[in-house]
Amino acid sequence: MAKIVIENLFNKEITTRQSERKVIELIHENYIDWMHACGKKGRCTTCKMEVISGMENLAPLTGHEQIFREDGRLKAHQRLSCQAKLLKGTLIIRVAEENKFPHLTYSN
pTM of the predicted protein model: 0.94
Residue 47: name the closest of 60, 34, 30 by CA.
34
In a domain, 106, yes or no: no
Q: Is 29 part of a structural domain of the chain?
A: yes
The answer to the question of residue 108 being in a domain is: no
CA 49 to chain centre: 4
Q: What percent of the chain has pLDDT over 90?
A: 95
Q: Which residue has the higher pLDDT, 67 or 18?
A: 67
Print the domain residue range for 8.
2-99
Q: Do residues 32 and 45 lie in contact, with contact meaning Cβ atoms separated by under 8 Å?
A: no
Residue 75 clears pLDDT 90, i.e. is over it: yes
User: Domain count of the chain?
Assistant: 1
Separation of alpha carbons 88 and 9, rounded Å:
21
Residue 31 in domain: yes
Report if residue 19 sits inside a domain: yes
CATH number at residue 16: 3.10.20.30
